[in-house]
Amino acid sequence: MDIRFVILFIMMIVLIGWVIFCGVQFVRSGRQIIVDANLKTRVKCEKCQMEYEVSKEELSRSGMSKSQSVTKTELHHGILVRRRRYLYYAKKFRCPHCGKRRYAQILNLEELQAMTSPAALRTGLRWLVIMCIGGFIILILFGIPMNLAERRHENRVEEMRQQRVEELLEEFNK
């Protein structure tokens, strides 16, 4: 197998790993934004209809959720912006009344969204820039050995071509 294919395969694995790493870090940063928000989250149990507060840590944990939303595109400072508005959003929480993990509708979701959206956009942009810069660095670092391998391959091809020309000249001169 040619070394160029090996370099290309390793570069592909490293780039995919880098993109996955940046995505995971973005999700972790998003959860931290929710934890850092100074907002009490009120939820309503769908089974017993009891309203209670949940901790920010419990809200930021991934888990089962169900939602119903509508997207609306509007003109904002000369730019078309598409925003999602949730009509209904529920996650599984442990209800203090039922004592079981049940779906509970988040009542103050719009407040939570309004409070965390600017920070989430900044974090998303930051990780996108980091991902692009890291990707370019990876491409440059793998481009150096790829270029050397390409030159070596071209030299071998030229040597083989020169040998073949010499063989043909010898056969012709006989």
Question: Quick check: pTM over 0.85?
Answer: no
Output the CA torsion 116→122→124→130 (10° steps).
-150
What are the domain boundaries of the chain? Answer: 1-38+110-174, 40-107
Confidence of residue 154 (pLDDT cuts 50, 70, 90): very high
Write down the pLDDT at residue 74: 82
Judged by DSSP in three states, 163 sits in helix
Write down the pLDDT at residue 137: 96
| Token pair recorded at residue 133 | 């810069």
In angstroms, rounded to a whole number, what is the distance separating the alpha carbons of residues 59 and 43?
A: 10
Do 61 and 54 contact (CB within 8 A), yes or no?
Answer: no
Write down the pLDDT at residue 151: 92
Task: Express each pLDDT in 26-59 by its tens digit.
Answer: 989 988 888 887 778 888 888 888 888 888 778 7
